[in-house]
Structure 1
Amino acid sequence: MAVRNPFFGIWFSKLSRTHSCSISGILDMAEEKPPRILRIIARLNVGGPARHVILLTEKFREKGWASELAVGEVDSAEGSMEDLAVARGIEPVKFEKLGRDIHLFDDLPVIWKLYRLMRRFRPDIVHTHTAKAGAVGRAAAFLYRRGHWRGLWEPKSLRVYHTFHGHVLRGYFSGLKNSLFRRIEWALAHASTALITLSASLREELSELGVARPEKVVVIPLGIELEPFLDMAEGVPGTNPVRGELALSVDTPLVGIVGRLVPIKDHLLFFEAASRLVKEGAGTRSGAAHFLIVGDGEMRPELESRAGSLGIRERCHFIGWRSDLPDIYESLDLVALTSRNEGTPLCIIEGMAAARAIVAINVGGVGDLTGFSREAASSPPERGFRIGPVGAIIQPQDPAGFARAMAHLLDDPDALIRLGREGRDRVRRRYSIDRLVEDLESLYLKNR
């Protein structure tokens, strides 16, 4: 660390000679000051990223860091995790226009307000999460570093990180918008100390999209509080409150899908596959399956109508957002995912921790998470699906393959137990919150 003030240098030189004091000693004392980290996310809507930032804000406080969280407002149609933040003793700083929608004239004042927050809080680290917060947060961080009279040649010391929990560069917008957003992300990557992805597959995808070179991207897998799920029985128990609520016996196969009811999650494919399963599996165990839809969102009326038109409405149980997730997963035989785009889906980690087999579309980090090699995950499957260590993966846009995968698994209860056990062992080793905090702390301190 260079001493730039000549008067300080003269004073310090005399102090060193008089009191046998070294510059390293002074700097060591200065470094004992707890690091200050500002975490920014667009909103605390129900989902993995919101839980992720709440837990990280709490855990770094427990380590003695000055750890704060800035958020936008949750849309009225979405479930909120703000209660979880309050329960963990976190009062986020709220910004009215920091939501997911992008509007230039609304976003400029948000950048200015985040800059002013940084001026007050004086962070050593700014870490952004999700696309909108990543854009305005990193723009504000750039302004904070450079926005003073010596900023061009002597910027403030600040490390800036952004986590891609997924991305909106494919599957969300038109081709022109996708191209524009890729250029914006490329520019923001140059203003970042490092980018973080939750899987190696997502890092490769960002490189292919031209967002950043692979060496700029660090892979740090997701971590959650696994304990509520690890003590559950490996199979569906004789009694379960959720099955009791639905009036389903322990022998009735139950497939669950957990997530927001929005287009990117592609529940329409799930219902198409469920319809095929019921019709083609008549007389088999899988043909008697019911389907549990956990979550809410803008598509709920359309999805309920679609289930009716497919003739499976009485088999589909829409229960909205729930806080009793361990009981939810315990009630299931199989956990499903049909998203068009994902980073590392939290519901798959939770399902694996609960010792439940997985059936999922192979997108984003799903192959890494479920233990498939990249070659196996990307090669065309013979039956429309591929069985791996913890369940089945299916190529996108293939409801017939998804139906066959569900039938294959549900008709083999012993395989469900075996795959669930392997999934639990896998997440216990790789996806704990303590491991996540250690990995992030190591990254933050390495770049000091």
Structure 2
Amino acid sequence: MHICLSDGWGGLEMYPARIIPELQRQGWQAHGLALAGSRVAESLASTGIAPLTVPSRGRALLQVGRILGYLKRHGIEVLHCHKSSDLRLGALLATLRPTLQLFFTDHMGVTRPKKDFYHRWAYGRVSRLFAISEATRQRNLKAFPLPPERIRRLYLGIDLTPYAPQLDEPAREALRRELGVMPGQVAIGLPGRLTDGKGHEVWLEGLARLAERAPELAWHGVLIGGLSAREGSDERYVSHLRSRIEELKLGQRVTFAGFRPDLPRLFEALDIVCVPSRNEAFGLTVVEAMAAGKAIVGADSGAIPELLEADCGRLAAAEESQAWAEAMAELGQDAALRERLGQTARARAERHFGVAAHVEALIREYAGKEPTS
């Protein structure tokens, strides 16, 4: 059973529904526990399972008897939590039913030590803690009250199939026009939640500098991500970005695409994908762009350098807009380089970041087997 009692919507919340179809394909019966009416519950239902729901995190603790009954009826022996706050419930369930195995994925990257009495109790019930990158694993080793052998790096994986090109040239050009990209322009996109910390401002400042650095280059910027809280974004921050775009005189050169369920197709419409997040715990957008065969510019911080090797894209200093302008200019002016980087990125995604390989590794952990070399 995957437990995700979150009312937000981001990579963490998307994870259970992302991997459950592959778990089922590999022979596991998957269940979910979510907040009633949440996007997580909706996403679980979209995979074909009926999630067990609770009204709130607090009520989940009061309904522990009901949840234990559900686990017993369905023969569930593995619990997998995705928010640290959900470990209260997971650890309580594992305490009341000691045969349960409890797993936890640290999707966010811990920032402070968790070694007080409560955390020693909660994490003491965890069979395995998964770090989603080596960068977060190193922080996990220092922060969590667990021996090193119970903390494993497990890169996330995605279904690569939807990211293969599907549009013919007329359809691609029509989609580009819909995004405000005119014929002959280089489309430079930034996909992801519109929240502080994702690097939107340094990217916009980089675009303003790009206009000065390469005045002959025709380009258009595309911001892809929900514009409302329901879609996972910070509405005040969205308003701030709109103001910043006007201040930088980019009003005619940047489009807000909003939330798009057809993200793989939007990647087809882009020439360059930028991921300027300051401290990404993994970098799912980087992997998605790699799977789409795009030329990528990523921040040189967090886990992104682990994913984006030199022959797959370019790194730019997370806080330096001039560095972003230089990287975007290099790729924007060289279509052959973009093509070469994109092909190498796609091959790397196929080797290392497919969901099937991720789930195989996850199942080995569920079964208590040592990871393969």
TM-score range normalised by the length of the shorter chain: 0.7 to 0.9
- Please give the alpha-carbon distance, in whole angstroms, between the structure 1 residues aligned to 2:35 and 2:115: 23
Match 1:49 to one of 6, 9, 12:
12
> 2:353 corresponds to which residue?
431
Match 2:123 to one of 180, 185, 189:
189
The answer to which of 356-365 and 58-67 deviates more is: 58-67
Q: Structure 1 residues 188 and 339 mapped into 2: Cα distance closer, same or farther (>3 Å)?
A: farther
Q: How far off its partner does 1:334 sit?
A: 0.8
- Please give the alpha-carbon distance, in whole angstroms, between the structure 1 residues aligned to 2:147 and 2:337: 41
1:441 to 2:371 alignment: no
TM-score normalised per structure 2 = 0.86
What SS does structure 1 have at the residue aligned with 2:126?
Answer: coil
Q: How far off its partner does 1:396 sit?
A: 2.6
Q: How far off its partner does 1:69 sit?
A: 0.8
Deviations 1:249-268 (A, max 9, x none): 34201111111111121312
The answer to which of 330-339 and 112-121 deviates more is: 112-121
TM-score normalised per structure 1 = 0.73
- Please give the alpha-carbon distance, in whole angstroms, between the structure 2 residues aligned to 1:195 and 1:210: 9
1:307 to 2:237 alignment: no
Query: Are the aligned partners of 2:187 and 2:272 in contact in 1 as well (CA < 8 Å)?
Result: yes
> 2:34 corresponds to which residue?
71
Amino acid at match of 1:279: E
Give matches, 1:78-89, under 5 Å: 80=39, 83-89=42-48
> 2:327 corresponds to which residue?
405
Amino acid at match of 2:101: R
Give matches, 1:97-246, under 5 Å: 97-98=56-57, 107=58, 109-114=59-64, 116-122=66-72, 123-130=76-83, 134-136=84-86, 138-147=87-96, 156-167=98-109, 169-170=110-111, 178=112, 183=116, 188-209=122-143, 212-231=146-165, 237=169, 239-240=171-172, 241-246=174-179
- Please give the alpha-carbon distance, in whole angstroms, between the structure 2 residues aligned to 1:221 and 1:55: 14
Query: Are the aligned partners of 1:204 and 1:214 in contact in 2 as well (CA < 8 Å)?
Result: no
1:325 to 2:263 alignment: yes
Q: How far off its partner does 1:337 sit?
A: 1.0
For the pair shown, which has the larger CA radius of gyration, 1 or 2? 1
Deviations 1:235-285 (A, max 9, x none): x946513212135234201111111111121312221212111233212x2
- Please give the alpha-carbon distance, in whole angstroms, between the structure 2 residues aligned to 1:447 and 1:125: 14
- Please give the alpha-carbon distance, in whole angstroms, between the structure 2 residues aligned to 1:301 and 1:81: 26
**Alpha carbon RMSD of aligned pairs, Å?**
2.6
Amino acid at match of 1:145: A
Q: Structure 1 residues 278 and 159 mapped into 2: Cα distance closer, same or farther (>3 Å)?
A: same
> 2:305 corresponds to which residue?
367
- Please give the alpha-carbon distance, in whole angstroms, between the structure 1 residues aligned to 2:19 and 2:299: 28
> 1:95 corresponds to which residue?
54
Q: How far off its partner does 1:228 sit?
A: 1.2
Q: How far off its partner does 1:48 sit?
A: 2.6
1:346 to 2:284 alignment: yes
Amino acid at match of 1:164: D
Deviations 1:211-242 (A, max 9, x none): 64432211221111111112458xx9465132
